[in-house]
C-alpha cells in the first residue's frame, strides 16, 4: 500500500527543513499568502537533496490573514494570480534542475474551491493551461476534485491528519472547537482510518467514506515536526509505504 505524505511549507516556520526528512511531498507557499523568493529557493534546494516532490501552494493575496479569509475576486484575477504564483515557483525549480510535480491551493482558496463549481473550474483550467502534466491536490470527495478530472488532469484526493471533519466530510472551520487535532493518538488514529479503511469520523459521529491518495500535515501547526515523524513511523509499522505524489499514477475518472 502506497500513500503520499505532504506538508504545507515555506510559510515562515522554523521546522520546515526538519519536516522534509519525514514527508514525501511539499507544497511551497508562493509568496502571496506567506513566504518569499528566498524561502522558495531554500526549500527547493533542500527538497531536491532528499528526493521530496515539490508542488506549488498558491493562495489569495492576503498576507494579513495568512490566506485563510474567504475572498470574492473576479475569476480573471484568480486565474492571473494562480499563473503568477505557479510560474514563480516553477521558474525556481527549473533553474535548480528540478521539475514541479503538483499544485495545491492554499487555505480559503482551497476550501472555497471544494464547494464552488465556478471557482473550481477556474483553478483547474489555469493549472491545465499552465502545464497539463501537473497533478492537483484537492479535498477528497469534493467538487474541486471533480472539476480537476473534468479538465483531464490527475487529481490526488487529500485527507488531513491534523484537522477535524464535519459529518458531511468537510473540514471543520478554523476558529471553532474541534478544528485542530492536537492529540497525537487521535491524529494517528484518523490517519490510519483514512488510509486503511477509507473512512473518517465527523464531529457528530458520522462515518464519512473518503478515498485518499495523500495525507496533509500543516507545517505551521504547533506539533508539526513531532506529528510528521510520528505519522511516518506509524505508517511504516502498519505496512504502508510513503511515496512522493510524483510516483503515484492516480487518474480515476
Angle at 203 between CA 201 and CA 207, to 5 degrees: 25
Whether residue 228 is contained in a domain is answered as yes
Whether residue 223 is contained in a domain is answered as yes
Whether residue 44 is contained in a domain is answered as yes
Instruction: Report residue 179 as a C-alpha cell.
Output: 478544528
Whether residue 252 is contained in a domain is answered as no
HSE-up (13 A, CA, CB side) for residue 175:
3
Name the percent of the chain lying above pLDDT 90.
95
Whether residue 50 is contained in a domain is answered as yes
The pLDDT confidence band at residue 247, using thresholds 50, 70 and 90, is confident
User: Would you state the pLDDT for residue 80?
Assistant: 98
CA 188 from centroid of its chain's CA atoms: 18
Average pLDDT over the chain reads: 96
Euclidean distance between the first and the last CA atom of the chain, given in angstroms as a whole number = 21
Instruction: Report residue 105 as a C-alpha cell.
Output: 491551493
> Cα(71)–Cα(82) distance, rounded to whole angstroms?
14
Range of the domain at 63: 2-247
Structurally, how many domains does the chain consist of?
1
CATH assignment of the domain containing 166: 3.20.20.370
**Contact criterion met (CB below 8 Å) for 23 and 243:** no
> Cα(124)–Cα(189) distance, rounded to whole angstroms?
32
Closest Cα partner for 26 from 7, 50, 46?
A: 7
**What 8-state DSSP symbol labels residue 114?**
T
pTM above 0.85, yes or no: yes
Rounded to 10 degrees, the C-alpha dihedral 105/107/111/114 comes to 10
CA 20 from centroid of its chain's CA atoms: 14
Phi, psi (degrees; rounded to nearest 5) at 194: -65, -45
Other C-beta atoms closer than 10 Å to the C-beta of 99 total 14
User: Would you state the pLDDT for residue 253?
Assistant: 43
**Tally of residues, the chain:** 253
Average pLDDT over residues 34-40: 97
| pLDDT tens digit sequence for 173-211 | 999 999 999 999 999 999 999 999 999 999 999 999 999
Whether residue 208 is contained in a domain is answered as yes
Amino acid at each position: 500500500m502506497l500513500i503520499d505524505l505532504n506538508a504545507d511549507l515555506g510559510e515562515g516556520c522554523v521546522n520546515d527543513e526538519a519536516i522534509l526528512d519525514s514527508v514525501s511531498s511539499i507544497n511551497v507557499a508562493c509568496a502571496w499568502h506567506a513566504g518569499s523568493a528566498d524561502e522558495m529557493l531554500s526549500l527547493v534546494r533542500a527538497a531536491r537533496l532528499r528526493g521530496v516532490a515539490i508542488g506549488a501552494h498558491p493562495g489569495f493575496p492576503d498576507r494579513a490573514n495568512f490566506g485563510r479569509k474567504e475572498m470574492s475576486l473576479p475569476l480573471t484575477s484568480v486565474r492571473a494570480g494562480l499563473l503568477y504564483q505557479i510560474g514563480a515557483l516553477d521558474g525556481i525549480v527549473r533553474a535548480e534542475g528540478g521539475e514541479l510535480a503538483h499544485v495545491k491551493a492554499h487555505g480559503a482558496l482551497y476550501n472555497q474551491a471544494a464547494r464552488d463549481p465556478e471557482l473550481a473550474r477556474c483553478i483547474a483550467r489555469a493549472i491545465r493551461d499552465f502545464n497539463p502534466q501537473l497533478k492537483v491536490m484537492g479535498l477528497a470527495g469534493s467538487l474541486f476534485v471533480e472539476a480537476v478530472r473534468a479538465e483531464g488532469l490527475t487529481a490526488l484526493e487529500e485527507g488531513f491528519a491534523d484537522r477535524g471533519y464535519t459529518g458531511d466530510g468537510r473540514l471543520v472551520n478554523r476558529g471553532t472547537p474541534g478544528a485542530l487535532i492536537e492529540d497525537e493518538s487521535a491524529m494517528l488514529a484518523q490517519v490510519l482510518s483514512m488510509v486503511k479503511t477509507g473512512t473518517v469520523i465527523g464531529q457528530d459521529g458520522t462515518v464519512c467514506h473518503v478515498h485518499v491518495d495523500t495525507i496533509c500535515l500543516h507545517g505551521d501547526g504547533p506539533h508539526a515536526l513531532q506529528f510528521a515523524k510520528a505519522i511516518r513511523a506509524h505508517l511504516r509499522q502498519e505496512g504502508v509505504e510513503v511515496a512522493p505524489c510524483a510516483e503515484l499514477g492516480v487518474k480515476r475518472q
